[in-house]
Structure formats: C-alpha cells, structure tokens
A and B are shown apart, each in its own frame.
Chain A
Amino acid sequence: MAENKKVVIELQNVKRYFKVGSETVKALRGVSFKIYEGEFVTIQGTSGSGKSTLLNQLGCLDTPTSGDYFLDGISVREMSKTQRAHLRNRKIGFVFQNYNLLAKTTAVENVELPLMYNPEVSAIERRERAIKALQAVGLGDRLDHKSNQMSGGQMQRVAIARALVNEPAVLLADEATGNLDTRTSFEMLVLFQELYRQGHTIIFVTHNPEIAEYSSRNINLRDGKIREDTYNENIKSAAEALAALPVTNDD
C-alpha cells in the first residue's frame, strides 16, 4: 500500500533502557519501522508494552539509548534539549488524552500557543492561522470561548487545531479519545479520518484495538518489540459508525 512517498519517520533498531535503582527496565528492545507521508498509523499495545516510551521517542521528548530516530530526515539522537524543543515546535503536533489546554484562556489563544514560540511568525499571521485552524475543526464560532465553557469534544478539537497550527510533519495523538464518551469519540475519529483524507500524517497511540479498524496501518507493540505491522485493507468509516450509534433517549 505504501507508494514511493516521502519517509516522514524512520526508527532504526531503537532501544530505550531505564535505570530504576539497581535494575534496568528495557522499555523498548529494538523497534524499527518507517512511516510515510500521509499515513494514518495506530500504534496499539497494552499497558507496559512500551507504547508510552515509543511515543516519547517519536515526539522528541526523549532520546534513544541506542539506535536512531530520523524525523523528516533529521537525526534526533544527538540533539540537545533546546534543539529538540525547536524540532517539536516545527515538526510535531501533540494531541493529549486530557486535552491539556491552558486554563482561563480562549480557544484562539490556546491554538496560538505553539506559534508564540516561533519567532518567524508575526502576531497578525499568528492570529490568522489560529482562526483558520479552528475553522478547519469546526469551531469557527467559538473562537473566544474559554476552556471552562467548552465540552470535552470541543476542547479536544481545540487541541487538534493547536496541533495543526504550526503545519507539523506529523500529528502525534496519545489516547486522544480516552476521556471522551462513545459518541464524541466517534466524532473525533471522523475528524481524524478527515485530516487523513486531507493528506496529514497521523500517529495515534492507543491501548484500544478497535481504533485500529479506522486507521490505514496498525503497529502492534508488546514487551518493547513490534509484534505486528499491518496495513489496513478495509478502513472502516467513522462517519458511518457514528450514524449507526443508538440515539440515547433521556426521559
């Protein structure tokens, strides 16, 4: 299924060991894969499989003990903290399980946040891009709403808009539907699939195997190693699944 597209992410035998007291915890024991531009990849594993560690590696929040990680062709391994911060700013868009928006702050300002740390973007351009991003996720009419005035689903959309505003190489979602109810979770998957159709590269880390049915590729992680790496021939439509949900009747 992978055409001759650009390699956005490449891991080469990445190992990550942690020293806990006198023991060594081997969280990643040699992980290798390539992710191409425009793929919607789920990285699925149970608790303790190493998916959080892998996420931190992919997000440049951490560096490998051995092996190499290339993000958009750049080797991350030797980078300093500051360099990685800059890299995160330009190349990665995070979406967290608990949205992680700034309190008492409007949607626009939340979305502007990554651009505040990008000195190349002027204040006017920053505002424009933020508004566009919010419109793209369907929140064009809630620009000045504060986080405490929004539902979980709306907050996650703001988070997605924030992740997209810097035009990153990859969207990195960590249990993005974990705090949402079923209906809202599906609405979110609809959005992710829409972004996939628009050509964004998406990595979705989750413990929930169901989500893999909606992505284009699934990497299954277990005990720090890749157990399976399969392309999804039959991607389910989240929009259809959403429509098929029983309507809840409160009386």
Chain B
Amino acid sequence: MNFYNLFKISIRAVGNNKMRSFLSMLGIIIGIAAVIIMMSIGQGSKESIRSELSTMGTNLLTIRPGADMRGGVRQDPSAMQTLKMADYERIMREKKFVTKVSPEVTASGQVVYGNNNTTTTIYGESTDYLDIKQWPIEEGDCFTEEDINKAAKKVVIGKTIVTELFGEGADPIGKTIRFKSIPMTVVGVLKAKGYNSWGMDQDNVIIAPYTTVMKRIAAQTWFSSIVCSAITEDLSDAAIEELTQMLRDNHKLKGDVDDDFTIRSQAEMMETMSSTMDTLTFFLAFAAAISLIVAGIGIMNIMLVSVTERTKEIGLRMAVGATGRDISLQFLVESVLISVTGGLLGVLLGCGFSGLLPKLGMPSSVPAWSIYLSFLVCVIIGVLAGLLPALKAARMDPIEAIRHE
C-alpha cells in the first residue's frame, strides 16, 4: 500500500482522538520546551559574558601570584606574595609586546564622608589602569605619575560611592573622604559601568595610586596582581611568553620548576567561562533529556492501550485487506506524528518562553541547532515508542480481532 494513503490513515486516526493525542504528547511538549529553554539560557549567558569580556579588550592579560589554582586548592600565604616591585620595574623596562601595565594592590573596608559611610574596595593602580580597562573619567581627572611617586592621597571614585556618600548627582571633586580612617581627596569620578555578569557593582570602587595603597593602607610590599595589555590580541601569546620569561628570571626559577605566578589572558578566561557554561548546560539538558525518555515511555503506554481498544478496528482493516505490515506501519506513523507534533509545540513553547526571559533579567538566545536536534530526537522517540504497539497490532489474528468485544 502506498505511503501517502498510509499517512492519511494515520493522520485521521490521530485526529479522531484529539484529547488523547494531546495528552500523549504533553510529556514531549514539556520535555522539548525544557531542553530549548536550558540551551537558550546557556547560550545566552555565554554570549553575554563573551560580549562583556570583549568590551574590556581582548588583549587584556592578568598576572596573579601563586601557581595555577585551577584545581581550586588554596596556597599558603607566602606563595601569594611573589609579585614584587622589581617585577613591575623590569616589565616596564623591557616590554616589547606589552604596552600598558598596572600593578594592583587591593584592600576592602569602610569609606566615610560626613554622616555617610559604605563598604567598598580600594584598588591601588598605575595611571595606565583606566586605559587598560577602557574606563573613562566623567568628572575631574585621574591621579598623576607624580601622585604615584609621592604616594599621594588622591583618589578617583565610582558613581555608587558618589551616591552613597554625597548623594546622587552631587559633585565630590575636591572633597575629602576617609578610607579606614585615612583621609583621601577625590580628584575624579568614573563613568558608570553598571553590574557585571557576576552580579557585582562595578561602580562601587575607589581607585588610588598603588604606592598609596601599598604604603598607607595595606602595608604590603607585594602586588595582588599585575594587569597589562598586549599590543594586539594576536600578540597575546607572545606577550605572555615575554612576561613569563621576565618573571621566571626575576624569581630565579630555573629548568622544570613551576611558575610561582599565573598569567591569564582575556581569551583564556572567555574559554574557561564558555566551557563552564557548556558543562552546566550539558547537565541541565541531560536532565531534560531524561524527561524526554519518560515522555516516550508515556507515548508507548498510551499507544499500547490504544491498540487494545482498537482491536475491532484492526480486525476490520485486516479483513478488508490490510497486511500485518500495513497495520504496523500505521501505528508507527501515528506514534511519530504524535511525537513530532509534540516536538513542534514544545519548540514553539520553548522559543516563546526564551523570548520572555530577557524581560525577567535573564539572558537567553535559542541556538538553531537545538531546534533541529529536538526534531530529530522526536522522530527517534516516536519510532522507538511505536515499535512495541505496532508489533502488537500486526500480530493480531483477524478472526479473533473482529469478534473482540
């Protein structure tokens, strides 16, 4: 019998019992929608992190003390103090592939103005810092080279500090704030940046000369990190190579001894972020996939019951000339129809919901391949779910089937 007729028969059968068909496909609809939503949240997060990191400049390199901490194991404190002034000076002298450099010293604490206070972090940096981060000053100026030489108590503050200490829209230039009781003069206000994708307020920040923070606040001779920018993104690897050589030499590390520092490039960070997101997405999608298996079992169950209920119909079809193959194919196609229609509705539901997510503050972007994969999976589920019912139907004896009550 030709497939067009078979298709017609199957469509008719599925359409004749709309409620039952819909309930059968409900599991698939939910499962597919869930998979699509998971995938789109994963993709969306990746994309937003990527775009955020790339606005900071993909030629950004960060040198941190301590050996590679990717395993997540904490080092003893002395290992965290390996970046020193000598390193910074050498880098500034000999750099070829690196342009801007800023050694970083940080400290957290309370900052006070008048009756207002707030908790913040002070970043000690060089004058290159704002260039490296591509962070413009909105009012006033950044501190100068001279300020660094003198370890002057001059700072640049972020918009959140302005709001917290002075009130929104106020002019803090020239005013004195106290960080951990040490008075500092505000010389500049940074342009607002908002929250980053880790949920941190980037405007809750005070930037001061690194010498100031090292001597007057943190009382340490080592740097928390050194940030630099490579000339271009392509030269990042060359820059890393160069920096590694300089530091190893400075730290007297020979031969196979591990680095006592880590250099990360922006590109690398993006990779790590990406693969973390990928892993997370994978596990979420896996959970959703399990639900699809359950949905497939659901379809199989309902179809098995349907076959029993339609025993007389099957007997009739056989009596008028349907072969076992005709019958089994009919039920198989019915099963696939249910599954694929469920998939279609699931995709629509998933895409629709994903479109709403950004309005709730969540990034989402539906990857095209997840839609194709969904359909493929639906066809496979439909075939697998329909196998047993199809076989059961085809094996019926027409004589008994016709007389079935």
Residues of chain A whose beta carbon lies under 8 Å from any beta carbon of chain B = 56, 59, 61-62, 81-82, 85-86, 88-90, 94, 96, 100, 102-105, 109, 113-114, 116-119, 162, 166
Contacts and interface: CB of A to CB of B under 8 A. Distances in A.
Nearest to B16: A104
Contacts of B317: 113, 117
Nearest to B6: A116
15 contacts: A85-B324, A89-B320, A96-B402, A100-B315, A100-B316, A100-B402, A103-B313, A105-B12, A109-B12, A114-B321, A116-B1, A116-B5, A117-B5, A117-B321, A166-B321
A114 B323 contact: no
Interface of B: 1-2, 5, 8-9, 12, 16, 312-313, 315-326, 398-399, 402
Contacts of B398: 61
Contacts of B322: 85, 117
A88 B399 CA distance: 13
Contacts, number: 68
A102 B318 contact: no
B1 to A, nearest CB: 5
Contacts of A100: 312, 315-316, 319, 402
A118 B12 CA distance: 18
A119 B2 contact: yes
A56 B16 contact: no
A82 B321 contact: no
Contact of A116 (B8, B313, B315, B325): B8
- What DSSP secondary structure best describes chain B's contact surface? helix
A81 B318 CA distance: 10
Which of B8, B315, B321 has the most chain A CB atoms inside 10 A of its CB?
B321
Contacts of A59: 319
A56 B312 CA distance: 16
Contact of A88 (B8, B313, B321): B321
A61 B320 contact: no
Which of A85, A109, A119 has the most chain B CB atoms inside 10 A of its CB?
A85
A94 B326 contact: no
A25 B172 CA distance: 108
Given A82-B325, A104-B16, A88 B1 contact: no
Given A94-B320, A117-B326, A61 B8 contact: no
A175 B321 CA distance: 21
A94 B319 contact: yes
A115 B402 CA distance: 19
B321 A86 contact: yes
A85 B5 contact: no
A119 B402 contact: no
A65 B2 CA distance: 34
Nearest to A94: B319
Contacts of B402: 96, 100
Contacts of A116: 1, 5, 8-9
B319 A88 contact: yes
A56 B318 CA distance: 13
B306 to A, nearest CB: 13
B345 to A, nearest CB: 23
A117 B3 CA distance: 10
Nearest to A93: B320
A35 B105 CA distance: 109
A61 B317 CA distance: 12
Nearest to B326: A117
Contacts of B2: 119
A82 B324 contact: yes
B175 to A, nearest CB: 83
Contacts of A82: 323-325
A89 B318 CA distance: 9
Contact of A90 (B1, B5, B321, B399): B321
The 9 closest A-B pairs by CB, nearest first: A89-B321, A114-B320, A85-B323, A117-B321, A82-B323, A119-B2, A104-B16, A100-B316, A116-B5
Nearest to B13: A102
Contacts of B8: 116
A113 B313 CA distance: 11
B6 to A, nearest CB: 8
Nearest to B398: A61
Contacts of B12: 105, 109
Nearest to B318: A85
A61 B319 contact: yes
A218 B2 CA distance: 41
A105 B17 CA distance: 12
A119 B312 CA distance: 24
B320 A113 contact: yes
A79 to B, nearest CB: 12
